[in-house]
Amino acid sequence: MKIKVGFGFDVHQLKDNHPFVIGGVNLAHHKGAYGHSDADVLLHAICDALLGAANLRDIGFHFKNTDPRWKGISSIILLQETVKLLQEKGWQIGNVDAMLCLEAPKINPHIPQMQANIAEAIGIDVEDISIKATTNEQMGFIGREEGVVAYAVCLIQKS
């Protein structure tokens, strides 16, 4: 059996009166992430971790922000497409561990739904999806609520 790990990172600018989607969950907040798709920073970091582990480049290579097909698209679809790319190469996903860094809103109440959304999209058990959140202690662009960051690691395997 061959096992690989991958690391993903994403950052998005926050804008007033803009939708805020994280982990496929629409969060009620006065600011939201801005981007070409729905700007789901968590799912983008997970996509990059998976693609990196399989040596399939990165999310921007497969889903260019200049391509109108991806404009405003749900990042759940991008994650599903990422999984298809891995499956074409014979990879199976073992687990995902992710960290969000933002000042607000509080993420903890939404983690079970995020886990369920991700587990369904990639076809693994909810118990194999870990999501954590922290603040930046009001420092830097995250502390000023100018942006949101996500990190993710994953394990993939093939027989």
Binding residues: 10-12, 36-37, 44, 58-60, 63-67, 134-137, 141, 144
**Could you give the CA distance from residue 108 to residue 62 in angstroms, rounded to a whole number?**
31
Pairwise CA distance, residues 82 & 46, whole Å: 9
Tokens of 94: 């073992």
Q: Which amino acid is at 89?
A: K
- Count other C-beta atoms under 10 Å from residue 30's C-beta: 12
Residue with tokens 């942006």: 147
Beta bridge partners of 157: 3, 92
* Binding site, annotated residues for a divalent metal cation: 10, 12, 44
